[in-house]
Chains A and B, each alone.
Chain A
């Protein structure tokens, strides 16, 4: 697999949200607007990339038996670092995302990549893998957040297109499930049309 493919597979073919179905909680919980979804995605991407690199770095030192606890410690440390940095430099975004920032620790994408990829590959490859999956996550969350914001508030990235309130339900809890469900229908339909042989 070429270096580029390593990065690009996370975007669509192995998109963590639409294909691998990982990291559902922040996907549904933080995507009330495009900007929130993107912020959450970027925070997760940072943790994913850094933890992937760190784990690839220590992969030969760590005994197999204490592998998982070690990974968790590394991931939790990076999450705390991101948490502190966000508090310092983007306090408003930190306040909106709330409890979901510390919960990056239990995002299955991160431990999943650590276990499946970073523990077996070089630092550089792991970084590319983390970056690819991370960008895929950012994309998915931004699309979901954007759709919900557009329907629910009539705006996109805070810019208003429609006067009035929009359909509030899309910003509320049921809208998260519904928009995600229909986006997946769309995703399935498109990927079925793009490679008809796969099915």
Chain B
């Protein structure tokens, strides 16, 4: 009786382990594709492959990555992969594109687990929330929601998600400033 159960468990575990080995690479590839796709969305046209030489830095217990997009050797913009742990559903990962002058070009959500219909409006495809950041420079645009005295219009009923979003964008900006210096 116990032998059969043990045997079945062993066979199943082996099968799952095998599938894990086989899918490990496609899973990593799918994540990579998402990142290079996101870079292209947030910075203006470029002709290098920014994903090739990323600059990683550990900030506040997480890893952040800066990709530089150039055209003909001239810097066209920076894509910063940033995060926040303040989200309603935990971590939110964003790709924030900055122009060389430090203003925000576009922002894309890479990973979020916010409430569908509420917090997930941080995603560009769900609402216009992220559009209010475009063209703004964090130097004179205060990155916090109006409730906290900032310049950002929060998503209705999703103040936490909105705050978290601002937190992530601000973290990206601060990192870029320290790197530029």
- Which A residues are in CB contact (< 8 Å) with B15? 77, 81
A88 touches B27 (CB 8 A): yes
Interface residues of B in 86-123 (CB under 8 A from A): 111, 113, 116-118
Tell me the nearest residue of chain A to B20, going by C-beta: A84
A73 touches B26 (CB 8 A): no
Interface residues of B in 1-53 (CB under 8 A from A): 1-2, 4-5, 8-9, 12-13, 15-16, 19-20, 23, 26-27, 29-31, 34
Whether A63 sits at the interface, judged by CB under 8 Å, is yes
Whether A32 sits at the interface, judged by CB under 8 Å, is yes
Whether A61 sits at the interface, judged by CB under 8 Å, is yes
B117 touches A87 (CB 8 A): no
Tell me the nearest residue of chain B to A89, going by C-beta: B26
Tell me the nearest residue of chain B to A30, going by C-beta: B116
B12 touches A73 (CB 8 A): yes
- Which B residues are in CB contact (< 8 Å) with A65? 1
Q: What string of 1s and 0s marks CB contacts (under 8 Å) between A82-104 and chain B? A: 00110111010001101000000
Number of interface residues of B (CB under 8 A): 24
CA distance A98 to B90 in the complex (A): 13
- Which B residues are in CB contact (< 8 Å) with A171? 116-117
Whether A70 sits at the interface, judged by CB under 8 Å, is yes
Total A-B Cβ pairs within 8 A: 64
Which of A69, A73, A85 interacts with B23 by CB under 8 Å?
Answer: A85
Dominant secondary structure at the B interface: helix
A80 touches B16 (CB 8 A): yes
Supposing A88-B30, A91-B30 touch, asked if A74 and B20 sit within 8 A by C-beta, the answer is: no
CA distance A68 to B27 in the complex (A): 32
B30 touches A32 (CB 8 A): no
B12 touches A77 (CB 8 A): yes
B1 touches A32 (CB 8 A): no
Interface size class of A (residues with CB under 8 A): 20 to 34
A62 touches B117 (CB 8 A): no
Supposing A66-B1, A66-B2 touch, asked if A87 and B27 sit within 8 A by C-beta, the answer is: yes
Tell me the nearest residue of chain B to A96, going by C-beta: B116
Which of B19, B27, B117 interacts with A81 by CB under 8 Å?
Answer: B19
CA distance A84 to B16 in the complex (A): 9
Tell me the nearest residue of chain B to A65, going by C-beta: B1
Supposing A77-B15, A84-B23, A87-B23 touch, asked if A168 and B117 sit within 8 A by C-beta, the answer is: yes
- Which A residues are in CB contact (< 8 Å) with B29? 88
Q: Which 10 A-B pairs have the closest CB atoms?
A: A88-B26, A77-B12, A88-B23, A84-B23, A91-B30, A88-B27, A66-B5, A172-B117, A63-B1, A171-B117
12 contacts between A and B (CB under 8 A): A58-B8, A61-B4, A63-B4, A69-B5, A70-B4, A73-B5, A73-B9, A84-B16, A84-B20, A88-B27, A95-B111, A172-B118
Chain A positions within 8 Å of B, measured between CB atoms, are: 32, 58, 61-63, 65-66, 69-70, 73-74, 76-77, 80-81, 84-85, 87-89, 91, 95-96, 98, 152, 168, 171-172
